[in-house]
Amino acid sequence: METQVAIVGAGPAGLLLGHLLQRAGVESVVLEARTREHVEQRVRAGVLEQGTVDVLTETGVAGRLHREGMVHRGLELRFGGAGHRIALSDLAGGRAITVYGQQEVVKDLIAARLEAGGEVRFEAEATAVEDFDGDRPRVRFRAGGEEQELRCAVVAGCDGFHGVSRRAVPAGALSGFEREYPFAWLGILARARPSSEELIYTHSDRGFALHSMRSPEVTRNYLQVAPDERLDAWPDERIWEELRARMATDDGFELSEGEIFDKGITPMRSFVAEPMRFGRLFLAGDAAHIVPPTGAKGLNLAVADVRVLARALRDFFERGDEAGLDGYSDRCLRRVWRVQHFSWWMTSMLHRMDAGDPFEAKLQRSQLEYVCGSHAAATTLAENYVGLELEDA
Ligand code: APR
Ligand code: PHB
């Protein structure tokens, strides 16, 4: 098989890249190891920055997003039994977030690609990425029980943290920066109406809790748990009990409950691979970086990467201009480290770090009070949360 751009992975990064390239008249093939059902059902986060909503809208794949997405112009920080609203849009030039499940974005992008006649091969697992130090790299993949290969001019490694693309980079050519957090998130989906108009990020002595939502009938809640926590240690009633305890307020906040129909535990880590380009291999999204979910940035960072990459590839294929490709890694890494800092900062401020360290707890409390009491500090949170307008956008 031959194409211009071989895209490994049909997550948000790979699918959006394929979509943007299609609109720019650049041919691509998306190879995805799992089935279409699996990638469309995989429960992940669900907060879209203004910039993500804008690119999906500008490129014609936001119809359902605008019908079903929930626009939020604020969020609540809750601690010491009281809630404090951060007026995101008032503080960040009118920009807002939209709550819309990541798998819904994936569904919309797959539908758009197939409708436009674009190629996405499901159950096609890439096994090797080779020759990207030359101008005719290839991706070896297994599909239908057969070993096959895809020749191309450029490979986009959008295959997530555990994918084959980053692993294809010769040792020593890549630097990894990592931080593991001593906790994880237990996340649930429940048939319960949201208990608030906006998201509630809660700091409590019992640990962090987050109240989010997917629709007027479905909520998404998270609890800080131990990194090695076992799901079977958390029967539904214990989850609701702990959410109630952590999110309790002096004015009697009521958390609405309902049937839990999805439950999972997510490890918490920060990771960055530098650089994000190796010859004709370009890494994007989780293949190059992981953020803890506290800042709701994973999906949005993947989108930011492929916006830069799609423009650079268009310039390259249209007129042989390599400036965008040469600047891709540095350009993305500026946003990646800003977002890494914000996600680490939110995580450090809101989680019970080390139960035995009262000094740490006092620092957190002071930080929370400062963010909720200072216009300048609240603006910092707001502009990072809705998505910074860096010149890469
Ligand atoms: N061959 C083909 N496909 C692969 C391979 C492989 N060897 N390895 C992984 N994949 C596929 C996975 O099955 C997955 O569908 O690559 C896709 C990677 O998608 P994501 O993990 O969603 O990564 P990305 O598109 O970068 O999106 C980042 O996803 O994990 C969330 O929080 C994260 O929101 C962020 C977003
Ligand atoms: C979610 O709705 O899944 C969600 C919201 C905010 C976060 C993380 C996840 O910070």
Which pLDDT does position 355 carry in this prediction?
A: 66
Q: How many CB atoms lie within 10 A of CB 337?
A: 14
* pLDDT 10s digits, 31-88: 999 999 999 998 889 999 999 999 999 999 999 999 999 999 999 999 999 999 999 9
Could you tell me the end-to-end alpha-carbon distance of the chain, in angstroms, rounded to an integer? Answer: 33
> Which amino acid is it at 368?
L
User: Model-level pTM?
Assistant: 0.97
Q: What gap in Å lies between CA 275 and CA 328, rounded to an integer?
A: 9
* Ligand 2, residues at Cβ distance < 6 Å: 45-47, 199, 212, 220, 293-294, 296
Name the residue of 47, 71, 299 whose CB sits within 8 Å of the most ligand 2 atoms, as the mutation to test its pocket: 47
pLDDT interval class at 393 (50, 70, 90): very low
pLDDT averaged over every residue in the chain: 96
Tell me the average pLDDT across 173-184. Answer: 96
Which pLDDT does position 391 carry in this prediction?
A: 56
How many Å separate Cα 5 from the centre of its chain? 23
**Tokens (6 digits) for 187:** 């996340």
* DSSP single-letter state for residue 170: P
Name the residue of 88, 189, 210 whose CB sits within 8 Å of the most ligand 2 atoms, as the mutation to test its pocket: 210
Q: Decide if pLDDT at 209 tops 50.
A: yes
List the one residue out of 28, 106, 114, 60 whose CA is nearest residue 302: 106
Tell me the average pLDDT across 162-191. Answer: 97
* pLDDT 10s digits, 268-282: 999 999 999 999 999
List the one residue out of 209, 220, 212 whose CA is nearest residue 245: 209
Tell me the CA distances in angstroms from 173 to 100, 139, 168, 273, one per residue in order. 37, 20, 11, 10
- Of 72, 203, 211, 289, which residue is the catalytic one? 72
Q: Is 53 helix (H, G, I), strand (E, B) or coil?
A: helix
Sign of CA pseudo-dihedral 68, 200, 296, 371: positive
